[in-house]
Structure 1
């Protein structure tokens, strides 16, 4: 059960809530795929305004976009984008409501921007006096952590909190790190996605399924290189390459490493948009042979193997994504598993010592 569904069963937390707004997006649905705004209105909740994060309230925007939609197509309610807005600008917009509900599906990766939007909303709410209630949802990647902990000097919109790269928190728990007293309507954190569980609605255009979301922990790092990460193809974050890459050599290099139950196939593609749009690219398609527990080593080795072929890396962006200083040796393909294992041990200690005060759900 999600926080939304729990609120629909018992809307008493909204008694005396005044004017109510909702921050949501297409993945904010019931298990019957009814949008949260529609479901809340049917339950008698008097919503007045809707707000959207990156990609827009209707999910039609690509990375870095949030098309302005003035009225919601299903409810007719006025809508406002909170993406690319400062906390003071957000405060102006949410001051129009007394209570702001947040029903957003995060994916558990630090550089995914919904946590950053939530951080800004909580800061803005202090200015506007708006009450914030997070309707929690399960983290589709579960409680395990991976990757380095973000160093404060690398804070940015793709790293708003000092978290491991794969942080193992729900959105409600992230909110409690910023505002310990924030109201969170809990979910069943272990409810799975897929058959017999919650439906997978893409939380953003390039995470079409759960397997891609799992790979995104690692292949999201390709954004910090000159390679296409598969945006503009049918296989975002599973198809990676660039003009001039030797696809056969790249696949052979990666298949010779111990990266878990994955195989790399030489692949050739032409992105319709994003990096290298309209240009023939060569690279690899990543095939996951069985459930992949850790995807970060895959991404680290992939970036390193691309660099070995002369592909340009973007040090500034990579250190924002990773949260630690850039060094070429970080991406040495043979060391990917060992390095990521060391990061994971550190992340586990950090989570227990620094993040556990925000936990809402028991960890095994």
Structure 2
């Protein structure tokens, strides 16, 4: 991914990589110098995540029994690295009673779809309550000793990425139990566009709880405001919601995530391609899991080998204990050099379907419908519709959503 050059580290130094996961992605590039007319130097102020604006929210937590919804991305950045939000709050004598962990867990080690277990955090001794197991919504009993909930998780702006479903269910539980919730905002690396099929009410679930497009172009704070104000919580309840905003952010900002938000999104390219290649999750095609290029390639043993120059063999690794096509030679495409995208692409999934030697193996219909949000997309691909025809069918719903979205934006 190409980014502007001449980055300085005087304000926002390079952030350490997630410990123990072999992450080698680029670091955040948020302080940019630009020469205008060859003489004048203008510095774009660095993006400041809400967690770093401690004084804007710590007053809401003092003398309260606090529950924190967090994972490995919930950090406060410092010149010499980062500190986890929970550790920082404990050092400030905030009374944290428990931590609620989403998909992939509090320390980010679980595979996609793997249940997260309750337990104790080995570093702090705090109780860890899973929101990705038998309970995805905090119960009344779990909230009995909580006065306020603090939510801080890095999102990537794709509907089937489950952190926004966790947010919605936590907000709903807070509303039902009269507990305030504070959301610390973070940049959306796919916040620069809106695209993709819109979730249909008949197919809502944990991979899409509301009728929004695949890519919705909002930060997690903006999204929280939208579902609250639009009455999208069950029975139209409203949470007592406070969003702590970002500083120096716009939807056109290019933000390189300093910590991988989940095990199989290792870098900027994977995150940018995820809206398009994530649809392969509802097929039998491997989308790079079991390699070091997750969501930067696709392939399968049953794709026509004569149509591809690229091949690879998935094997179990960090983040994928049992990848699709495990141990098989997969024929497909390497997309690791793809420039930054501003839309959802259908060309790769169409290509894979057209070159499948056994189309009966291609779709996992229930899974594909949950990811696409509609049965129509599978039908369109099977009918041989072009990318242009498929994308044209999205436009009316996208325009309706953009009108709703506009009311809840916090940033330009």
Which category describes the TM-score, using the shorter chain as reference length? 0.7 to 0.9
Alpha-carbon shift at residue 89 of structure 1 (Å) = 4.9
TM-score (norm 1): 0.85
Find the residue that maps to 1:328 and give its secondary structure.
helix
Deviations 1:65-102 (A, max 9, x none): 24325222332222111113446654432333111100
The Cα of 1:217 is off from its aligned counterpart by 0.4
Question: What is the distance in 2 between the residues matched to 1:86 and 1:213?
Answer: 28
- The aligned residue for residue 294 of structure 2 is 236
**2:128 paired with 1:79:** yes
Instruction: Indicate the structure with greater helix content.
Output: 1
Q: Which residue of 1 aligns with 2:246?
A: 187
Matched, 1:201 2:250: no
Aligned to 2:185: 136
Partner of 1:26: 72
Equivalent in 320, 343, 348 of residue 370 of structure 2: 320
**CA distance, structure 1, for counterparts of residue 214 and residue 180 of structure 2:** 29
In structure 2, how many angstroms separate the alpha carbons of the residues matched to 1:163 and 1:303?
26
Which residue is 2:37 aligned to?
none
Q: 1:211 aligns with which of 242, 264, 269?
A: 269
**Aligned-partner SS, 2:100:** strand
> Residue 262 of structure 1 aligns with which residue?
none
Q: Are 1:173 and 1:358, in contact at CA under 8 Å, matched by a contact in 2?
A: yes
Q: How many angstroms apart in 2 are the aligned matches of 1:316 and 1:37?
A: 38
DSSP 3-state at the match of 1:148: strand
Contact 1:248-1:266 within 8 A present in 2 as well: no
Q: Would the aligned equivalents of 1:141 and 1:168 in 2 still touch at CA under 8 Å?
A: yes
Q: 1:286 to 1:317 in 2, by over 3 A?
A: same
- Pick closer, same or farther for the CA change 1:353–1:75 going to 2, 3 Å: same
After superposition, residues 63-74 of structure 1 pair within 5 angstroms as: 63-68=112-117, 70-74=119-123
| 1:309 shift after superposition | 5.4
Is the CA contact 2:195–2:343 (under 8 Å) kept in the aligned structure 1?
yes
- Work out whether 1:340 is the aligned partner of 2:386: no
- Is 1:221 matched with 2:279? yes
C-alpha RMSD of matched pairs (Å): 2.4
Q: Matches of 1:299 and 1:37 in 2, distance apart?
A: 41
TM-score (norm 2): 0.76
The reply on whether 1:103 has 2:103 as its aligned counterpart is no
Contact 1:304 1:332 in 2 (8 A): no
List gaps (5 residues or longer) in structure 2: 1-47, 230-239, 317-321
Q: Conserved in 2, the CA contact under 8 Å of 1:303 and 1:331?
A: no
Q: How many Å separate the matches in 1 of 2:159 and 2:383? A: 22
1:230 touches 1:271 (CA, 8 Å); kept in 2? no
The 5 Å alignment of 1:265-284 reads: 265-272=309-316, 273-284=322-333
**Unaligned segments of structure 1, at least 5 residues:** 252-264
